[in-house]
Structure 1
Amino acid sequence: MASNSISSFRWYLKKTARSGMCLATLPSKRLLLSNKQSNYSPVRVLTYHRFGDINRDPFCVGIKDFQAQMDWIARQNLAVSLTDIESFLAGKKDLPRNAVLITIDDGFRSVYLNALPILKEYSIPAVAFITTSNIDGGNAHSYTQNSETPEPYLTWKEVEALAEAGIAIGSHAMTHRSLGKISLDEASQEAVMSRESIEKNLGINVTAFAYPFGTFCDFNNSTTLILHQSGYKLGFTSQHGAVVQKLDPLTLPRIKVEGGEPMWMFRLLVSGGLDEWRLIDRMLWRLQQSP
């Protein structure tokens, strides 16, 4: 299996930038929270990918770290479900201030082996977005040619076990290609065929889609229309920010949770410490582009 570890310089540079932004936004967040007249009630969708103990891999969150995070969320009573988000965006339900939805992209096996027991222990709902062609040992469309995946993908039996445990299953496309960089017909196939595959294998209704890569160039008005026509109610990007009721439900922002970060930073992240990272997403989107 390939390693996704990055250089020490790049690792510490990004960690300094992320922690610095969290600390810089702290005064404004405290002021907002102290304003009892404020109607601002943001929800944040947290993005995870893999779970394990790998050195300098931002996409892999340590198991003990994930447990500490879920323990804190459970004690704060902040966890909400995909259905809660749908109702919130439709104006049918109020959610706790700084409520969070846990989402996990790609469909790697550590979701089943390492994350599921912790989610069950704390009764925290979550969404697993899977790339259907990779399930049951499919090839790794989501990686550059001739590279190896960092860990095995889920099997359909494991995906079924996730669903039976209360984890919502969403689509991460059929072959993990950028919908914004392929033809509209191909993008439609990615959206429709992945949903149909999940529904056929699990016998459930799929309503949510997470854009592969999710950078500024991976979605647009045309892809939003495709998701709508394909029967999805919610679409999630990788653009940072809070979810509020005025947003388009098919281009929702999320907050990436990275490995190797302390608990104080996670608490700030949940309260909005990385919301302004969306400025980085906008300015440096060419560096974030998918292959």
Structure 2
Amino acid sequence: MKITTLLGLVFSLALTSCSISNRTLVAQNADFWLVEAGSDDNFALIAQDYLGDPALASTLVRYNPGIKVKPGEVIAVPKGNLNPAAVYANGMQVIPILCYHQFTSKKRSLNSMMVTRNNFAQQMAYLKDNDYQVIPLSDVGPFLQGKKPLPEKSVVITVDDGYASFYQVAYPILKQYGYPSTLFVYTDFVGIGRALSWQQIEELNNDPLVAIQSHSKSHANLARAADSESEKDYLDRLEEEVDKPAQILRKKTQHPIEYFAYPYGNSSPELIKILEERDYQMALTVRKGSNPSYSSPYLLRRTMIYGQDSLKSFSSKLDVFRQINLQ
């Protein structure tokens, strides 16, 4: 609906004197509120009051192209998710899910799977300084279902395996920025060598910014070994790798276990069926790339962040909009 049409609603809908924070609700219909901006108003404040999230200011910008918020300006605010596919004339919104593994406080990393404290801090600062919105993985499901719009530059942070370096290096930086993250652990690893202890996992679990989910029991490759594994043996192995960690993690965290990260990114139709039967909501690969609204929830892409990534290469992995000319 064009903005000129929306403004025409002012003359066709009943006026109201309702006011929110020095802001006047001029008119409304089933799809939109038309609000008159108050003094010192901005899109973030309006998004907070009407949409419940200041980060959805980018949604208001899309519905009010070229409009600057100033006292008396009429702003169109959608009442619901009017574009559930997040597809626009010039392309579509996509959600990058970043995947980390290990961290180090050393100045230099010789391990491609290990990101230094300095590099990780620079990456998180880059997200903040460039207006990226770090969202919890739990927000992705409603986006895929068309139930929830996401901020324009949404990014998800995940960390695999359960190394103690997450607790020692990455977690304090994430907490500094208030960034949510999902930690995928495989339960056979916990308490061994460089892994997190159950005590550390308990502390992390007490922070609402950290979600602890399953990365299988043993981190074995969950693709079928066709030459040496019968169908029954394969299904039995899959059930153990899915069910055992879920039982342990549910007991330890007192939270639902509903997201699964495939070890090595390898899945199969049999494994997806088991996850569906166990009411898992999403499962994640390590296939690089971002996720549009029509992505399969059991084959979500994740982009690996490596120890050798420069800030420039890191920024190139933050693909939040896929350009396509749909006109």
TM-score, normalization by structure 2: 0.65
- 1:127 is the counterpart of 2:169: no
Q: Which of 72, 81, 104 in structure 1 is aligned with 2:126?
A: 72
One-letter identity of the residue aligned with 1:43 = I
Please report how far the alpha carbon of residue 225 of structure 1 lies from its aligned counterpart in structure 2 after TM superposition. 0.6
| Aligned-partner Cα distance in 1 for 2:199–2:144 | 32
Mark the runs of 5 or more structure 2 residues left unpaired by the alignment. 1-86, 226-233, 322-327
Partner of 2:258: 207
SS in 1 for 2:93: coil
Structure 1 runs, 4 residues or longer, greater than 2 Å off? 35-39, 53-56
User: How far has the Cα of 1:267 moved from its partner?
Assistant: 1.1
Matched with 1:47 is 99
Taking CA–CA contacts closer than 8 Å with sequence separation of 6 or more, which of the two structures ends up with the larger relative contact order? Answer: 1
Code of the residue aligned with 1:245 in structure 2: it is: S
Match of 2:196 in 1: 154
Q: Aligned-pair distance for 1:272?
A: 6.6
Q: Which structure carries more helix by proportion?
A: 1
What is the CA deviation profile of residues 58-108 of structure 1, one whole-angstrom value per residue up to 9, with x for unaligned ones?
A: 100110110111112133132111121121111111123342100000000
* Aligned partner letter, 1:161: E
* 3-state SS of 1:213 partner: helix
Assess if the C-alpha contact under 8 Å between 2:160 and 2:185 holds in 1.
Answer: yes
| Contact 1:43-1:97 within 8 A present in 2 as well | no
Q: Quote the residue 2:206 is aligned against.
A: 164
Partner SS, residue 260 of structure 2: strand
Contact 2:132 2:155 in 1 (8 A): no
In the other structure, the counterpart of 1:32 is: none
Q: Give the match's secondary structure for 2:182.
A: strand
Aligned with residue 82 of structure 1, among 137, 155, 170:
137
Aligned to 1:233: 281
Deviation at 1:39, TM superposition (A): 4.3
After superposition, give the CA deviation of every residue in 1:46-68 in whole Å (9 maximum; x if it has no partner).
Answer: 00001113532110011011011
1:131–1:174 contact (8 Å) kept in structure 2: yes
Aligned-partner residue type, residue 65 of structure 1: N
Question: Structure 1 unaligned runs (5+)?
Answer: 1-34, 138-150, 274-291
Deviations for 1:256-288, whole angstroms, at most 9, x for unmatched residues? Answer: 000122111111111279xxxxxxxxxxxxxxx
Verify: 1:244 aligned to 2:292, yes or no. Answer: yes
Partner deviation per Cα, 1:218-271 (whole Å, 9 max, x = no partner): 212111111111221110001112111211101111000001221111111112
Q: Cα RMSD (Å) of the superposition?
A: 1.9
SS where residue 244 of structure 2 aligns?
Answer: helix
Taking the TM superposition and a 5 Å limit, the aligned residue runs for 1:1-291 are 37-52=89-104, 53=106, 54-75=108-129, 76-137=131-192, 152-165=194-207, 166-181=209-224, 183-214=234-265, 218-271=266-319
Are the counterparts in 2 of residues 74 and 124 from structure 1 also a CA contact under 8 Å? no
Q: Give the total of aligned pairs.
A: 223
Shifted more, 250-259 versus 35-44: the winner is: 35-44
Q: CA deviation at 1:133?
A: 1.2
| Distance in 1, Cα, partners of 2:182 & 2:237 | 25
How far 1:163 sits from its partner (Å)?
1.7
CA–CA distance in 2 between the matches of 1:78 and 1:264? 19
The 8 Å contact of residues 112 and 306 in structure 2, kept in 1 or not, is answered as yes
Q: Deviations over 1:177-208 (max 9, x none)?
A: 11213611111111111111101111111111
Deviates more, 1:168-177 or 1:77-86: 77-86
Q: Secondary structure at the match of 1:101?
A: strand
Tell me the secondary structure at the aligned position of residue 159 of structure 2. Answer: strand
SS at the partner of 1:100? Answer: strand
Q: Which residue is equivalent to 1:30?
A: none
Mapped to 2, the partners of 1:210 and 1:171 lie a distance apart of: 7
